[in-house]
């Protein structure tokens, strides 16, 4: 790479969070390469179908890896690990993991020093993927353990407007969450201050019961707050139930203290208001109640 060549970001998995991050770097003149399992187009992005096409790794300076592992392991590590480890100009490798690696803590607080003790299959797979990348000598790896992601196009409003939303209540249950814009802010800050080997929890300041979040979203739309449904009577899928099997509050001090991050949406109320406006739902008119109701 020549001295004047732009920085190059390879997004292994050009998904929801990667798009938000990549768009910011594009605006700063970065070259962006993105991959997806299916053919895709994105303005200004060199799009590749992967697995399938050979990726242009020469000149890549930064990699964001957000492809989910499976029971068989991390597909990127298995197929490209050796090539990535040998890249001469790689400055930063960001791996998007999940707070599920901590498992269940019965509502107690966890931070990056908390032992990894996953209690679900997805947590097991993520923990194994983290360990795979941590085993690569001299890789400029930073691990980002994400809480539940929301933002425009990914939030509670569509389900509420469809009339299918349920406020499932499990006493004492809380979840941490993070707005997609704040994920991009954390990643940008890490690129500016790379710290190989670092692990960061990426979540907002306010773990909250899921029924409170859904209730607030209904109030923003001017809809009746859905009735509460006890967890044991909810008839949830095994995957959905697995999320309720983990109950913890996730600390985010490290992204603030080490990376200097100021969250734009430090709690769900401001975040949901922003999603409402971004989805142009601020003028949503609730349907009229049926006669006699």
Q: Is the model's pLDDT at 150 over the cut of 60?
A: yes
Assigned domain for 21 exists: no
45-49 vs 31-36, strand pairing mode: parallel
Assigned domain for 117 exists: yes
pTM for the model stands at: 0.94
Residue with tokens 């594009």: 26
pLDDT value of residue 289: 44
Identify the domain containing residue 180 by its residue range: 68-283
**Measured distance CA(34)–CA(42) in Å, rounded:** 9
- What does the pLDDT look like over 7-23, one tens digit per residue? 999 999 999 999 999 99
- Structural domain count, the chain: 1
Which runs of E-coded beta strand occur in 66-188?
92-98, 109-110, 141-146, 148-150, 167-169, 177-179
Assigned domain for 55 exists: no
- What does the pLDDT look like over 166-182, one tens digit per residue? 999 999 999 999 999 99
Strand partners, 146: 98, 202
Assigned domain for 152 exists: yes
pLDDT value of residue 159: 86
What is the overall mean pLDDT for the chain?
Answer: 93
Assigned domain for 46 exists: no
> If we measure between CA atoms, which residue out of 20, 95, 11 comes closest to residue 46?
11
DSSP state at residue 216: H
Assigned domain for 183 exists: yes
Strand partners, 110: 250
Run of H or E including 72:
none
- What does the pLDDT look like over 20-58, one tens digit per residue? 999 999 999 999 999 999 999 999 999 999 999 999 999
pLDDT value of residue 243: 86
CATH number, domain at 246? Answer: 3.40.50.720
Measure CA 122 to chain center: 14
Residue 103 DSSP SS3: coil
Assigned domain for 145 exists: yes
Assigned domain for 205 exists: yes
């Amino acid at each position: 790479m020549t001295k004047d060549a732009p920085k190059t970001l390879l997004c292994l998995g050009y998904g929801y969070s990667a798009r938000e991050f990549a768009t910011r770097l594009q605006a700063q003149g970065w070259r962006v390469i993105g991959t997806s399992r299916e053919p895709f187009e994105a303005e200004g992005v060199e799009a590749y179908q992967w697995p399938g096409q050979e990726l242009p790794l020469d000149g890549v300076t930064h990699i964001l890896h957000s492809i989910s592992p499976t029971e068989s392991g991390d597909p990127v590590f298995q197929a490209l690990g050796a090539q990535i480890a040998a890249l001469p100009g790689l400055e930063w490798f960001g791996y998007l993991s999940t707070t599920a690696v901590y498992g269940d803590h019965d509502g107690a607080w966890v931070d990056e020093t908390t032992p990894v003790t996953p209690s679900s299959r997805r947590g097991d797979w993520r923990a194994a993927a983290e360990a795979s990348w941590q085993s690569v000598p001299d890789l400029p790896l930073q691990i980002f353990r994400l809480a539940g992601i929301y933002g425009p196009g990914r939030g509670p409003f569509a389900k509420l407007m469809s009339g299918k939303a349920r406020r499932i209540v499990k006493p004492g249950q809380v979840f941490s969450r993070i707005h997609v814009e704040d994920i991009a802010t954390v990643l940008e800050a890490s690129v500016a201050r790379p710290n190989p080997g670092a692990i960061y929890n990426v979540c907002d300041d306010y773990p909250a019961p899921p029924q409170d979040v859904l209730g607030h979203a209904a109030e923003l739309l001017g809809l009746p707050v859905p009735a509460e449904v006890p967890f044991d009577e909810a008839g949830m899928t095994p995957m959905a139930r697995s999320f309720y099997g983990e109950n913890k509050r996730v600390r985010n001090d490290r992204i603030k203290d080490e990376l200097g991050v100021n969250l734009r949406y430090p709690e769900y109320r401001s975040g949901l208001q922003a999603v409402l406006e971004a989805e142009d739902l601020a003028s949503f008119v609730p349907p009229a109640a049926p006669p006699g109701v």
